[in-house]
Homo-oligomer: A and B are copies of this chain.
Amino acid sequence: MKKDIFSPKSIAIVGASVNQKGIGSVLLQNLINDGYEGNIYLVNPKYEEILGRKSYPDILSIEDSIDQVCIAIPSQAVEPVVDQCIEKKVKSIVIISAGFKEVGADGRDLENRIKDKVKAAGIRLLGPNCLGYINNEDRINLTFARKNPGNGSIAFISQSGAFCTAILDMAIAENLGFSHVISIGNKADIYENELIEQFEKDPQIDEIAIYLEQFTDGKEFVSLAQKSKKPIVVIAPGSSQKAKEAISSHTGSLASSHETVITALKKGNCIVVDSTEELFDTMKFVKNKKFPNGKNISVITNAGGPGVIAADNIEKEGLSLSNLSDNSKKKLYENLPEASAKGNPIDVLGDALADRYESAISTCIKDEGTDSILVILTPQLITDIVGTAEKIIKLQENTNKPIFACFLGKEDVSLGIDLLKKYNVYVSNNIESTVKLIRKITEYSVNRNKNKVVEVSDIKISNKYLKEIEDLITDEVSILPDIISENLLKEHNIPIPDQLITSNIDEAIVFAATKFPVVIKATSKDLAHKTDFKAIYLDIRTVTEFQEKLRLLRESITKVTRIASPDILIQEMIEPKVEFFLGANREGDSQIYEENGNGFGHLLAIGQGGIYTEVYKDIEYVLLPANREDILKSLDRTKVSKIIDGYRGKPKLAKDKLLDIISNIQSLLISYPQIVSMDINPIILTEDRAVAVDVKIYVKN
């Protein structure tokens, strides 16, 4: 995208009026008040003049050429204006108006027509249904926001205009500036990814913040985020869909859309925040560019209780209290009074003045085992609130080790808090949210530059059954016959039990006799009919027993399917040490891995299998493509991995073979993007085997 979309030399506003509080007029006033230096044209057929400026009846009657047209009129009237813009050959259009795809089918049709027209004309479009944009680098405020907090090093992209207004209002109070605020609205054309690309190149921008409800192309987003040199802070609401989807009885659906988003954001090493306050705290902190190198925190406090609260939260967030070096402890003994605590938290005592804080913080800055410093202050009788703030500011200036200040209270501590804010030192009066922030910042910092970008093209493709799959695929979900599933698994070296699918009783007996103990069950296709019949018999040890169970099973299936001689699946029985589970869901259509495919790709869900899968939800996710290391990391995050690694004296299980299966499932899925979902439950693990036992594969366009 050419940068000049947000730097037009001239702007026409369609919809300005003599009503100074109307959206069009506010757009005009914001543009003028914030110093726009280009030409402004007003369009409104009702007036000859608006607020002392000439008003044109329409776009075409403007004699000069126009870079950008901003439309703020009712949606029904927008299309003819767009037509004029095309005729006028403007470079870009901003549609502020609401009333498009967000209101239903008619609005969607209107939006699509406009989208197609501007695309054909080579005109870029922001919106519709948006607040407009601010480009403070070039002094352009084309929004109807109440306030503009001014220039800064943060670029903010928001899918919600209202959210922008709240953020802008907070930013003013917090004295935080933005290079750009772009309200992308319905994203008919301009969308998040191209903005990220643009901001990535802009040297005035240090961080990118995004509020996003839907990702236009998740795969591309992840790739951009992985390569980004700038922190990307994201608030992505919508997790309440998760529960609804998780209710589905099909375990593959545990890999829900929300989980895909969260996994994608993690893969892109984005800093994910949950609330406006957290977004704000994070943006402010990141601006300083002082990041922890690890998860060890030293806490300095003038009161025991808040120190305990900090320690609690540090543990809760999976961070650690740093082990101070002997040298650091020695310095603390030299410089702090006898009664103070020199462990961690370091208690400088209730009568501490700024000098004790200074000395303790200096020691922690030099301490090699300390990655972050958390300074807690309670406003006790002689506490030097402002003096302590001044020392913190000076110390933070001269070190890259981040200092987080928590000044508890509100009235007396406000002078200290205001001073710290003025000098961009992180300060809060909430220990819990501060420690949560430290955790998120630490995760970001530790993982950045570690992202090894894996491309789909790095994955080995093998798809000799493509023809069979393509013959089965439709716009509805359909299940693959077991025999095709088996072929796909074998093609990708995924071990399955010794098994035979047959409708021939004699063949079945001969096979079973060499494999006892065995399991017999109905095939997936027949199971799909399942009402409530017994479809599996385990641990069959003799021919007599086999004949009896086979008869019962065949009868049950025949009753349900009306097939006289149904296929039966006979498998060797393997006693599991752990039952593992693998589900996969495709986000996007079957063209997802092609150049123009939109979506995220396949998400794998892995974790404990068997009856407890949905009870404990011990599930971690892998967004494809991923390398073996990424897969291992996800596997190690499952709780069941403790058992796999050999828990409390039990033997280790075949983890490498499990990893092989997961890797091979990846090549299978990318080889056959027609697979819309897949479910292996269980993968049976023993000391020396990992075997995919119950496999169901579904395909769809």
Interface positions of A (Cβ within 8 A of B): 21, 23, 26, 98-99, 103, 144-147, 159-163, 165-170, 172-174, 211, 213, 235, 237-240, 242-243, 249, 274-278, 302-306, 308-309, 311-316, 339, 350, 378-382, 408-414, 429-433, 532, 611-612, 615-616, 618, 639-640, 642-643, 647-650
Residues on B with C-beta less than 8 A from A160 are 303-306
Let me know if A172 and B411 touch, CB within 8 A. Answer: yes
Copies of chain A in the complex: 2
**26 pairs, A vs B, C-beta closer than 8 Å:** A23-B381, A98-B350, A147-B412, A160-B303, A162-B378, A166-B379, A166-B409, A168-B409, A169-B379, A169-B409, A169-B411, A172-B410, A172-B411, A173-B411, A237-B305, A240-B314, A240-B315, A249-B648, A274-B313, A275-B433, A276-B429, A277-B430, A277-B432, A611-B643, A612-B612, A615-B647
Residues on B with C-beta less than 8 A from A647 are 611, 615
User: Given A174-B410, A306-B163, do A379 and B146 touch, yes or no (CB 8 Å)?
Assistant: yes
CA A103 to CA B339, docked complex, whole Å: 7
Let me know if B276 and A430 touch, CB within 8 A. Answer: yes
Residues on B with C-beta less than 8 A from A144 are 381
Residue among A238, A615, A640 facing the most chain B CB atoms (10 A cut-off): A615
Query: Which partner residue on chain B sits nearest A102 by CB separation?
Result: B304
Residues on B with C-beta less than 8 A from A312 are 237-240
CA A210 to CA B616, docked complex, whole Å: 35
Query: Which partner residue on chain B sits nearest A143 by CB separation?
Result: B381
CA A414 to CA B239, docked complex, whole Å: 30
CA A128 to CA B431, docked complex, whole Å: 27
Residue among A26, A213, A314, A378 facing the most chain B CB atoms (10 A cut-off): A378
Residues on B with C-beta less than 8 A from A237 are 305, 308-309, 312
CA A314 to CA B241, docked complex, whole Å: 12
Residue among A242, A382, A612 facing the most chain B CB atoms (10 A cut-off): A612
Residues on B with C-beta less than 8 A from A411 are 147, 169-170, 172-173
Let me know if B146 and A408 touch, CB within 8 A. Answer: no
Let me know if B308 and A165 touch, CB within 8 A. Answer: no
CA A166 to CA B432, docked complex, whole Å: 15
Let me know if B243 and A162 touch, CB within 8 A. Answer: no
User: Given A379-B165, A380-B162, do A277 and B429 touch, yes or no (CB 8 Å)?
Assistant: yes
Residue among A172, A412, A414 facing the most chain B CB atoms (10 A cut-off): A412
Given A174-B410, A275-B309, 14 other A-B residues pairs in contact with their CB atoms under 8 A: A160-B303, A160-B306, A162-B306, A165-B379, A166-B306, A167-B409, A169-B408, A169-B410, A170-B408, A170-B409, A172-B410, A275-B431, A611-B648, A616-B639
Let me know if A412 and B146 touch, CB within 8 A. Answer: yes
CA A220 to CA B255, docked complex, whole Å: 48
Let me know if B615 and A640 touch, CB within 8 A. Answer: yes
Residues on B with C-beta less than 8 A from A167 are 409
Query: Which partner residue on chain B sits nearest A347 by CB separation?
Result: B162
Residues on B with C-beta less than 8 A from A433 are 275
Let me know if A169 and B315 touch, CB within 8 A. Answer: no
Let me know if B410 and A275 touch, CB within 8 A. Answer: no
Residues on B with C-beta less than 8 A from A615 are 639-640, 642-643, 647
Let me know if B379 and A276 touch, CB within 8 A. Answer: no
Residues on B with C-beta less than 8 A from A278 are 432
Let me know if B162 and A350 touch, CB within 8 A. Answer: yes
How many whole Å from A448's CB to the nearest CB in chain B? 26
How many whole Å from A377's CB to the nearest CB in chain B? 9
User: Given A213-B305, A275-B309, do A169 and B412 touch, yes or no (CB 8 Å)?
Assistant: yes
Residues on B with C-beta less than 8 A from A304 are 160, 162
How many whole Å from A408's CB to the nearest CB in chain B? 4
Let me know if B26 and A408 touch, CB within 8 A. Answer: no
CA A216 to CA B316, docked complex, whole Å: 26
CA A379 to CA B238, docked complex, whole Å: 22
Let me know if A165 and B21 touch, CB within 8 A. Answer: no
Residues on B with C-beta less than 8 A from A249 are 648
Residues on B with C-beta less than 8 A from A408 are 166, 169-170, 276
CA A130 to CA B381, docked complex, whole Å: 13
Residues on B with C-beta less than 8 A from A649 are 532
CA A304 to CA B170, docked complex, whole Å: 19
How many whole Å from A271's CB to the nearest CB in chain B? 16
Query: Which partner residue on chain B sits nearest A273 by CB separation?
Result: B432
How many whole Å from A110's CB to the nearest CB in chain B? 14
Residues on B with C-beta less than 8 A from A168 are 409
CA A534 to CA B132, docked complex, whole Å: 73
